[in-house]
Structure 1
Amino acid sequence: MQVAYQTDVGHQRSQNQDRVAQFTNQRGNQLVVIADGIGGNRSGDVAAEITVKQLGHRFMTAGPETPLEAIRWFARETQLVNDEILKKSKEKTSYQGMGTTMVAAIAFAKTLVVANIGDSRGYLFHDELMTQVTIDHSLVNELVKSGDITEAEALKLPQSNIITRAIGISPDARIEVNRFKFAPGDQLLMCSDGLFKTVDKEKIKEVLMTAASSSDKCKQLVQLANAAGGPDNITVLIGLNEE
């Protein structure tokens, strides 16, 4: 998988609390991670940094060998990261209440295992169809699922930033993990909410459909989010299956 990513502070925040990274282990499998720190000034960036670094380290030293193992691996390792952040949050007053969302994926030969907690998202682009493959753990998504509001309305509500699950907030870090077919030419798009809350899904799809490089697509998406006001940190990662 050919990977490109970009992160940007946006136009209205003084600090970028998003973290993004890619890791390739000895077997040639790849882990990609985005963490969006939460808690405002309460060291959300520290929680995001711990999440990305610890997951990456564990992947490089004791990563899963099969997609089935990867599902169990994500559940176990995310819980260990959660425990670490809770422990760290007791070290300083400024660390209290820190947490982070996470979206991550491990790419195998023909399979993608995707995990998420919070409202950072993953999409699969296959045969000109863009499908969200993560579930938002947010207050507004609960309202969408119950039929009280539409997806379009959800993005406009002031409560759209209230998430119902995160790493480092409670003793139990319940993540969603699923596996998907990953065919040649397919694209994985992962992003923090700074992208999908400001850029329309159709515009994102238009960028993915172009012949530009993955790196240029990331730049274009960040530019679109900033052109729409850039109210939050923006992080975009694109993985192209070149097999």
Structure 2
Amino acid sequence: MKAVFMTDRGRIRQHNEDNGGIFLNRDGDRLAIVADGMGGHRAGDVASELTMSHLQKLWEQSEKIETADDAESWLRAHITQVNSLVYQHSQDHTECEGMGTTVVAAIVTNRFTTIANIGDSRGYILNETGFQQLTEDHSLVNELVRTGQISKEDAENHPRKNVLLRALGTEGAVEMDIKTIIFEDGDHVLLCSDGLSNKVSEEQMESILKKEETLEQKASELIELANENGGEDNITLVILEFLDNSERG
């Protein structure tokens, strides 16, 4: 297994309100996180930092994940716990009122990957069948596309593209999507904030991930392309590459 995390402020924003990272538990399994904070005066970075740091702490204390059910249960329980914590923080600190964050988080073992998401930060997979999005955006525009009210092309430039239907920490309870995939030799999983997915097409993502380069070079190239295409938002990503069942990396 190889993995890289990278984040960039972009070309316009004064602050980076994204957070994330790749963390190991006691048995060497990985938890990868991308969180894109929003709301309040610089409160977005508070929401994403709280989410990332608490999930990191909980993960580093956790025992081995044996099954996909274990992974799904871990993500559901601990993201729910962190949602309550972020929401309570916003209630206790007036300057953080209304803050929240997206989150896409993946538990990665040698046999499978389990991904949870809230909001519009995304997970993709590149495998022998091609490149595809694993997550569903919890956004107004995606709901309009899903129900046939607008086309995918219309969605690209919709004026309410940034309106989320779900975020972590904005309410006392939150729903998340969780799915498990089998990770095979040579597969890549990409997690990213919308600072990347809004600026780099799926065809461009696939092309870069297929290159004979290091993960660090691929990550840098993706961020560079997002900045070349405007860089209006913070850009954060994780790339995971599965090598084989014996290599832990």
Question: 1:7 is matched with which residue?
Answer: 7
Offset at residue 40 of structure 1 (A)? 5.0
Question: Which residue matches 1:57?
Answer: 57
1:48 equivalenced with 2:48 (yes/no): yes
Deviation at 1:239, TM superposition (A): 0.5
Deviates more, 1:57-66 or 1:24-33: 57-66
Match of 1:179 in 2: 180
Quote the Cα distance in structure 2 between the aligned partners of 1:151 and 1:233. 23
Q: Decide which moves more: 125-134 or 221-230.
A: 125-134
Pairing 1:220-235 to 2, within 5 Å after superposition: 220-235=221-236
Secondary structure of the structure 1 residue equivalent to 2:92:
coil
What is the letter of the counterpart of residue 57 of structure 1?
K
Retained in 2: the 8 A contact 1:67–1:108? no
CA offsets 1:48-105 (integer angstroms, 9 cap, x no match): 0111111111111125432211111111111110110111112322111111000010
Secondary structure at the counterpart of residue 90 of structure 1: helix
Distance in 2 between residues matched to 1:39 and 1:197, nearest whole Å: 19
2:141 matches 1:140: yes
SS in 2 for 1:125: strand
Letter paired with 2:62 = A
Q: Do the aligned residues in 2 keep the contact of 1:195 with 1:222 (CA within 8 Å)?
A: yes
Change in CA separation of 1:182 and 1:48 when aligned onto 2, cut-off 3 Å: same
Alpha-carbon deviations, 1:163-204, whole Å to 9, x = none?
100111111111100000100110010100001111111111
Aligned to 2:218: 217
Conservation of the 8 A alpha-carbon contact between 2:2 and 2:242: yes
Percent sequence identity over matched residues? 38
Helix, strand or coil at the partner of 1:183: coil
Q: The residue matched to 1:35 in structure 2 has which SS?
A: strand
Q: Scaled by the length of structure 1, what TM-score is found?
A: 0.97
SS of 2:48's equivalent? Answer: helix
State the distance in 2 between where 1:73 and 1:236 align: 22
Q: Does 1:75 align with 2:76?
A: yes
Q: In structure 2, what is the equivalent of residue 91 of structure 1?
A: 92
> Contact conserved, 2:41 with 2:96, CA < 8 A, in 1?
no
Partner Cα distance (2:128, 2:159) in 1? 35
User: Quick one: distance in 2 between partners of 1:128 and 1:81?
Assistant: 35
Superposition TM-score, scaled by structure 2 size: 0.94
Structure 2 unaligned residues grouped into runs of 5+: 245-249
Amino acid corresponding to residue 47 of structure 2 in structure 1: A
SS in 1 for 2:91: coil
Question: Does the 8 Å CA contact 1:19/1:48 hold for their aligned counterparts?
Answer: yes
Instruction: Give me the whole-angstrom Cα distance separating, in 2, the residues matched to 1:71 and 1:183.
Output: 19
Question: Which whole-Å CA distance do the structure 1 matches of 2:26 and 2:42 have between them?
Answer: 36
Match of 2:24 in 1: 24
Q: Indicate conservation of the 8 Å contact 1:128/1:209, yes or no.
A: no
Count of residue pairs brought into register by the alignment: 243
